[in-house]
């Protein structure tokens, strides 16, 4: 029973940064923008969160700083793609490379430094329940924020007028502009929200998942988050399910190594990424499933009439 509880806790911890980053990117793509710079914004959030927390002694200040840096970094992407109308794919890739480079340079002084961990909640009585106690009532605050964020995005997109407006921009920006909707402004806000989520996901890695700074510690999680959005067909609750599925695969390979399974550790470590490729291949074979919720204007540049 104790081992089951430990596995479930580690799955939740592994899934949380994927969920937060993917939910942010889902909103961005629903507005018709494809931002491949999630990995770069996550790593910038990780180094900023760790550095600020270490300097100030407050993990929460580190979290807020990471969110701010992620949003500011996304503004660079927004300026290039929405204002200067550069290619979104190339700009997103450049943003990732830029983030990896800057984080490596800025975090050099933090390597080997003991980090600060964001404290977990402890509700007397409820946290002591077997199996579900620590899983539901003894997690870190960002875990609960990730669940609330998923619910809030689902409600916003499909139950509010503002969400309908954002989806209309992603589906047909020309018609939305003709109706007087400020397409560029809405896309800027969506891009900033996605950047803030990526920054928060990065802070989770360096303040909760492994409270330390290691260069390239995102380890491709930004790319998995991008794949999760497609896997979930641009639906928030499916993103939640997908994040925990991929989190389970990540943790499963670690436990398999601990149990001494006779499979090379390199192959086991690649399982999350192999699972990502397999899922995308399966989805791409069903074109109808892929096109059902895909924003029609995704990745297409928009230049308003002068």
- List pLDDT tens digits, range 24-48: 999 999 999 999 999 999 999 999 9
State residue 265's pLDDT score: 62
- Asked whether the beta carbons of 78 and 19 are under 8 A apart, the reply is no
Q: Choose the CATH number for 2-292 among 1.10.287, 3.30.190, 3.40.50, 1.10.3470.
A: 1.10.3470
pLDDT band at 2 (very low <50, low <70, confident <90, very high): low
Residue 146, pLDDT > 80, answer yes
Q: What is the largest CA-CA distance in the chain?
A: 66
* Per-range mean pLDDT, top range of 51-60, 127-136, 225-234, 287-296: 51-60
CA-CA distance, 182 to 176, in Å (whole number)? Answer: 8
Tell me the domain boundaries of the chain.
Answer: 2-292
Closest CA to 96 of 36, 23, 50, 27: 36
State residue 172's pLDDT score: 93
- Asked whether the beta carbons of 49 and 63 are under 8 A apart, the reply is yes
Mean pLDDT of 1-30: 88
How far is C-alpha 122 from the chain's CA centre? 26
pLDDT band at 219 (very low <50, low <70, confident <90, very high): confident
List the structure tokens of 136.
Answer: 């539901």
State residue 7's pLDDT score: 80
Buried/exposed 140-149: b ≥16 CB within 10 Å, e otherwise: bebbebbeeb
Mean pLDDT of 228-255: 85
Q: Which of 64-68, 249-253, 297-301 has the lowest mean pLDDT?
A: 249-253
What is the number of helices (H) and of strands (E) in the chain? 14, 0
């Amino acid at each position: 029973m104790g081992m089951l509880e430990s596995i479930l806790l580690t799955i939740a911890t592994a899934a949380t940064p994927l969920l937060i980053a993917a939910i942010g990117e889902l909103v961005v793509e629903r507005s018709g923008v494809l931002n491949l710079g999630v990995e770069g914004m996550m790593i910038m959030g990780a180094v900023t969160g760790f550095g600020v927390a270490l300097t100030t002694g407050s993990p929460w200040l580190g979290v807020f700083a990471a969110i701010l840096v992620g949003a500011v970094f996304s503004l660079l992407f927004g300026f290039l793609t929405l204002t200067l109308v550069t290619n979104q794919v190339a700009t997103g890739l450049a943003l990732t490379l830029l983030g990896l480079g800057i984080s490596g340079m800025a975090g050099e002084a933090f390597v080997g430094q003991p980090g600060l961990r964001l404290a977990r909640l402890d509700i007397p009585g409820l946290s002591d329940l077997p199996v579900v106690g620590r899983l539901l009532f003894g997690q870190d605050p960002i875990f609960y924020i990730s669940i609330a964020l998923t619910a809030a995005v689902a409600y916003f997109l499909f139950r509010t007028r503002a969400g309908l407006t954002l989806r209309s921009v992603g589906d047909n920006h020309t018609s939305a502009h003709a109706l007087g909707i400020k397409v560029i402004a809405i896309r800027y806000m969506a891009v900033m929200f996605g950047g803030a989520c990526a920054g928060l996901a990065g802070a989770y890695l360096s303040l909760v998942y492994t409270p330390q700074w290691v260069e390239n510690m995102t380890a491709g999680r930004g790319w998995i988050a991008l794949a999760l959005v497609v896997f979930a067909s641009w639906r928030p609750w499916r993103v939640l399910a997908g994040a925990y599925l991929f989190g389970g695969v990540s943790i499963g390979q670690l436990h398999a190594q601990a149990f001494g399974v006779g499979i090379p550790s390199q192959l086991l470590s690649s399982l999350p990424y192999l699972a990502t490729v397999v899922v995308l291949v399966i989805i791409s074979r069903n074109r109808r499933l892929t096109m059902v919720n895909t924003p029609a204007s995704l990745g297409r540049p928009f230049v308003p009439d002068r």
